[in-house]
Amino acid sequence: MRVMALCSPAKFRVSFIWISATCRFHLGTSAMKNHLPDRWTDYTPVGKRIPGTRFIAFKVPLKKLFDNKLAPWQRFSPSTLVTEIGKQNEELGLVVDLTCTKRYYGPEELPSTVKYAKIFTAGQQVPTDNVIHEFKSIVKQFLSENPDNDKLVGVHCTHGLNRTGYLVCRYMIDVLGMVPSEAIEKFNKSRGHCMERNNYLDDLLQGKPRNHPCADLSWRSRISAPPFSQQPERFKCPICAILLKMWFAVAHLLF
């Protein structure tokens, strides 16, 4: 693992820190904290329930801090998310957050009835086996704990499309036994947008099932009620662990 950081003590600002195989974190001035996600307004807020599953995909909801950058009709907050899903006569039970940052909203903004899990997932690259296994385990845990209701598993990345689509389709293929092309078609139709990244699509269509040898019980703590927040996957190297703790201490102050 490699960690690089550029700091300016005078301004108390971290320019960037990069953790290989996990995420790239970009920190800047306070103005950047409120910067809208790129192309966020190009996508509809919430899709529809994927037939034959309990999945629903949506773009990342934004906290009120972003409201002044959006027209009233463009705003989409955690409370709006729950309302919009309710309009479909569905109930949200779990949110799986795949974004690689904590700046968009906090899990405490979700109702206490909605559980929350965070998987820091790097964009533009096919998720690792560990990320795939963690996602599957979180979903399986929730479904096993909610067999007598029909609460939905909501999944989002930034746009609720590529990372979200890959992991939801991967679950439908590997766990539900769905044909890859059918899984992709169902996701695209339900989301209202088509997955865009060819590397994700190629892996789903041509790759082998991504089944992790570890037992699901190793991930039992990944899901909880707000304000739960999961850190990136653990590192065995003690120096790496110390550096990671330092990063989160600085990030907490900045964000």
Residue 209: the pLDDT is 78
- Distance CA(47)–CA(84), nearest Å, equals 10
Residue 220: the pLDDT is 44
Cβ-based neighbours of 11, under 8 Å, separated by 6 or more = none
Residue 238: the pLDDT is 53
Residue 217: the pLDDT is 40
Cβ distance 242 to 5 under 8 Å? no
**Backbone dihedral region of 181: left (phi > 0), alpha (psi from -120 to 50 degrees) or beta?**
alpha
Residue 35: the pLDDT is 87
E-strand spans in 79-230?
92-97, 115-118, 152-156
User: What secondary structure does DSSP assign to 4-39, as a single string?
Assistant: EEEEETTTTEEEEEEETTTEEEE---HHHHTPPPTT
Q: What is the pTM of this model?
A: 0.75
Count of helix runs (H) and strand runs (E) in the chain: 7, 7
Dihedral pair phi/psi, residue 231, rounded to 5°: -80, 165
Give the pLDDT of the chain (255 residues) as one tens digit per residue: 433 333 333 332 333 333 333 454 444 444 456 789 999 999 999 999 999 999 999 999 999 999 999 999 999 999 999 999 999 999 999 999 999 999 999 999 999 999 999 999 999 999 999 999 999 999 999 999 999 999 999 999 999 999 999 999 999 999 999 999 999 999 999 999 999 999 999 999 987 777 765 434 444 445 555 544 444 443 345 565 566 666 656 655 554
Q: Where are the domains of the chain?
A: 37-235
DSSP strand pairing (23-26 vs 55-57): unpaired
- Topology of domain 37-235, CATH: Protein-Tyrosine Phosphatase; Chain A (3.90.190)
Extract the tokens encoding 230: 């999961």
Cβ distance 187 to 154 under 8 Å? no
**Catalytic residue set:** 157, 163
Residue 222: the pLDDT is 53
Tell me how crowded residue 243 is: count the other CB atoms within 10 A of its CB.
Answer: 16
Cα–Cα nearest to 158, from 252, 19, 28, 39: 39
